[in-house]
């Protein structure tokens, strides 16, 4: 993975190049996994991280306490760099740093699923903006939507779909047949969910308050299931320097 590498994103019939982000955000059952590019320039990485968690999009990661796992790959870090990265995560008051290091357990579990399904691996695009009615966005690999997906809007990906906003439209993850793909959203009220070849209507939300925890859809032996990411209030962290 090289800094500034472009990926092709299909928006309807239009092809647009977008820069490959140096940080991948993955939803796992235990919380959120941040995978840091271990080849790009460190300053480029830290600026992107500070913008993601402390800039205009910072509020999208606020809310209930959530477990966080940080995987920095094979990057060799000096103490000053470690402290700078950790300070960004620790400044998020609702983040509980559960694991930090190289090849975290959460990352290994995701990689195993990708290898098993022959998917696009860690290929991920970050899309900032609102997906409006009539818009259909198609992505290779995983996509992180920082914004809302409105009713009538559609997001399609060959990998996972994460919406850091309100999901009220249509999502289709694992479009190439990956049944291990997941769909996650901060506010989960979709019109329709599709994972691989399985289609489901929106989960029942009548009588429930507006969601304050991220939920995700996945395929179980019984069919489409919707669950909450696991949240914790205890503080625990493991450091590997």
Q: Match domain 23-112 to its CATH number in 3.40.50, 3.30.750, 3.30.390, 1.10.10.
A: 3.30.750
DSSP state string for 215-231: EEEEEETTEEEEEEPP-
Q: What is the pLDDT of residue 107?
A: 56
Domain ranges of the chain: 23-112, 121-228
Q: Is the pLDDT of residue 191 over 60?
A: yes
Question: Is 229 in contact with 68 (CB distance < 8 Å)?
Answer: no
Q: What is the pLDDT of residue 105?
A: 57
Q: What is the pLDDT of residue 214?
A: 64
Of the listed ranges 90-104, 108-122, 159-173, the least confidently predicted one is 108-122
Q: Match domain 121-228 to its CATH number in 3.40.50.970, 3.40.50.720, 2.160.20.70, 2.60.40.10.
A: 2.160.20.70
Q: What is the pLDDT of residue 78?
A: 84
Average pLDDT of the residues in 212-229: 65
Other Cβ atoms less than 10 A from the Cβ of 78: the count is: 10
Rounded Cα distance between 176 and 179, Å, is 9
Task: Please give the mean pLDDT across all residues of the chain.
Answer: 73
């Amino acid at each position: 993975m090289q800094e500034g590498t472009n990926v092709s994103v299909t928006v309807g019939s239009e092809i647009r190049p977008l820069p490959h982000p140096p940080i991948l955000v993955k939803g796992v059952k235990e919380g959120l996994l941040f995978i840091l590019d271990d080849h790009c320039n460190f300053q480029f990485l830290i600026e992107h991280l500070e913008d993601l968690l402390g800039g205009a999009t910072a509020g999208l990661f606020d809310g209930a306490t959530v477990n966080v796992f940080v995987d920095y790959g094979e990057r060799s870090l000096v103490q000053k760099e470690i402290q700078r990265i950790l300070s960004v995560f620790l400044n998020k008051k609702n983040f509980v740093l559960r694991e930090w290091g190289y090849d975290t357990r959460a990352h290994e579990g995701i990689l195993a699923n990708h290898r098993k399904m022959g998917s696009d691996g860690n290929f991920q695009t970050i899309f900032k903006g609102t997906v409006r009615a009539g818009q259909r966005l198609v992505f290779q690999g995983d996509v992180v939507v920082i914004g809302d997906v409105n009713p009538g809007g559609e997001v399609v990906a060959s990998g996972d779909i994460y919406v850091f906003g309100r999901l009220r439209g249509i999502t289709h993850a694992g479009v190439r047949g990956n049944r291990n793909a997941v769909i996650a959203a901060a506010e989960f009220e979709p019109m329709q969910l599709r994972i691989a070849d399985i289609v489901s209507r929106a989960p029942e939300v009548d009588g429930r308050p507006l969601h304050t925890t991220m939920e995700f859809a996945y395929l179980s032996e019984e069919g489409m299931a919707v669950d909450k990411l696991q949240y914790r209030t205890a503080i625990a962290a493991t450091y590997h320097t």
